[in-house]
Amino acid sequence: MDTELFQRSAHSPSYFELARGMGDSGRPLADFCIPCNPYFPTPEMFNELAKNLDMILKFYPSDSATITARLARILRLNPATLAMSNGSTELITWMDHLWFRESVAVPIPTFGRWTDQPLETGKRVDMYPLQETSEFELDIDAYIRFIRARKSRVAVLCNPNNPDGGYLPRHEIVRFMDELADLDLVVIDESFIDFVEVERHPSVATDATIRPNVVVLKSLGKNFGLHGIRFGYLVANPALAGKMGRTLPKWNLNSLAESVVFMLEEHAAEYAESLELIARDRYNMGMALARLPELTVYSSQGNFLLVKLAPGIDGIALRDFLLSRHQVFIRECGNKLGMSSQFVRLVVRPEQDVVRLVDGIHDYTRGGSLGIVRSVS
């Protein structure tokens, strides 16, 4: 395995790069790195897409307004409050160009594009460090004080946060938005909000549509297990959403993305079931990992778990061992701001894959003498 793949950027290599680098190992890769929904789309949906693949690939898609209108109908939102894009990172890029003028406040660790994108265009990024001693929980009032002290003009908040899965109740997010109504922009990244189970209606998307400076970001790829299609959207008041919509290319969505959007309404029950299965797997996986004395497992409302490795275990070495010996791919967090190689992020996967992961960790630590580490509840 060519480990130089991991040195080329702050993000993990793609599944395709890894598969090509591993050659014919005789065993499919168990991907615990890319946050994906393993239960959706269903096999029946994939069969339906396969039957229409020649038409999907041969013909132009509808314009973005048509696809956005269909998504708005499913979400029961005004189409004027939505803008769809070729992946949520495209929206982050354009938000930076359109609305990030001077400075942006971002808690770290979090999704890397929130710090990398504005840094690349010369903005000042005010990084608010989340503390391991507080289990990386974000204190809303302390964060607001930090924003005021730094005089940040844009504030970002990811809920649930990536990589720790920390979740703040909806009422706290609404309060955060209202406290910062004078900023140029407040961004609530809800890329993983559908995986939350502690609140029935956790999203603040509808609240954003009636506020002057709030944008809520959504990622369909993460929710639906379709990263390869690249589609995401934002929700905001009609002025902000309209400005983003006019900035994006008219045909920025492909025909495969359109086909999936037009399938969603009739498969809503299967999607809801997939979220229940992931919640079950998250609990079971967390319990299985917590039994390993070498790991500290943090509670999460995302479709992933943050794990701290015991002293003496290096995340890079563990990642490379699992990949080369067990064909298990994990996310080592040493290149994430605010983290170190003692942390790894593990995507929630079905039981048979978790058994493979646990066996691999046992294999790596066999013969060692490591201290017992508590599990974080």
Q: Is 239 exposed, middle or buried (0-12, 13-18, 19+ CB in 10 A)?
A: exposed
**Domain boundary, last residue among 233, 264, 295:** 264
Range of the domain at 33: 3-42+269-365
Does 90 share its domain with 237? Answer: yes
Total number of domains constituting the chain? 2
Does 138 share its domain with 255? Answer: yes
Q: Judge if the upstream peptide bond of residue 41 is cis by omega within 30 degrees of 0.
A: yes
Q: Judge if the upstream peptide bond of residue 109 is cis by omega within 30 degrees of 0.
A: yes
Residue 207 lies in a domain: yes
Three-state secondary structure of 275-311: HHHHHHHHHHHHHHHHCCCCEEECCCCCCEEEEEECC
- Output the tens digit of pLDDT for each of the chain's 377 residues: 555 556 555 556 666 666 666 656 557 889 999 998 999 999 999 999 999 999 999 999 999 899 999 999 999 999 999 999 998 999 999 999 999 999 999 999 999 999 999 999 999 999 999 999 999 999 999 999 999 999 999 999 999 999 999 999 999 999 999 999 999 999 999 999 999 999 999 999 999 999 999 999 999 888 887 888 888 999 999 999 999 999 999 888 999 999 999 999 999 999 999 999 999 999 999 999 999 999 999 999 999 999 999 999 999 999 999 998 999 999 999 999 999 999 999 999 999 999 999 999 999 998 433 433 334 44
Three-state secondary structure of 316-335: HHHHHHHHHHHCEECEECCC
Does 258 share its domain with 314? Answer: no
Distance CA 198, CA 365 (A): 35
Q: Which two tokens stand for residue 264?
A: 């969603």
**Nearest CA to 335 among 323, 345, 350, 326?**
345
Does 175 share its domain with 34? Answer: no
Count the Cβ atoms, other than its own, within 10 Å of residue 229. 18
Side chain identity, residue 224: F
**Nearest CA to 219 among 158, 175, 277?**
158
pLDDT of 19 reads 65
Q: Is 69 helix (H, G, I), strand (E, B) or coil?
A: helix
pLDDT of 15 reads 62
Q: Which residues contact 124 (CB under 8 A, 6 or more apart)?
A: 102, 103, 104
**Nearest CA to 235 among 272, 182, 189, 200?**
189
Does 100 share its domain with 177? Answer: yes
Q: How far apart are the first and last CA of the chain?
A: 36
Does 225 share its domain with 348? Answer: no
pLDDT of 27 reads 74
Domain with residue 151: its CATH number is 3.40.640.10
Distances (CA, A) of 350 to 162, 278, 282: 20, 8, 9
Q: For the packed helices 238-247 and 64-75, what is the interaxial angle rounded to 10 degrees? A: 150
Distance CA 45, CA 273 (A): 14
Q: How many residues can be counted in the chain?
A: 377
The answer to whether residues 369 and 342 touch, using CB atoms and an 8 Å cutoff, is no
Q: Which two tokens stand for residue 73?
A: 């109908």
∠ at Cα 54 (52, 56), nearest 5°? 65
Does 242 share its domain with 320? Answer: no
Domain with residue 276: its CATH number is 3.90.1150.10
**Block residue for tokens 């495969």:** 256
Does 249 share its domain with 331? Answer: no
Does 20 share its domain with 103? Answer: no
**Domain boundary, last residue among 237, 264, 291:** 264
Does 142 share its domain with 215? Answer: yes
Residue 373 lies in a domain: no
Does 115 share its domain with 250? Answer: yes
**Domain boundary, last residue among 264, 285, 317:** 264
The answer to whether residues 350 and 270 touch, using CB atoms and an 8 Å cutoff, is no
Q: Which two tokens stand for residue 265?
A: 């309404």
Q: Is 132 helix (H, G, I), strand (E, B) or coil?
A: helix
Q: Which residues contact 270 (CB under 8 A, 6 or more apart)?
A: 40, 41, 42, 45
Q: For the packed helices 255-264 and 43-51, what is the interaxial angle rounded to 10 degrees? A: 130
Residue 278 lies in a domain: yes
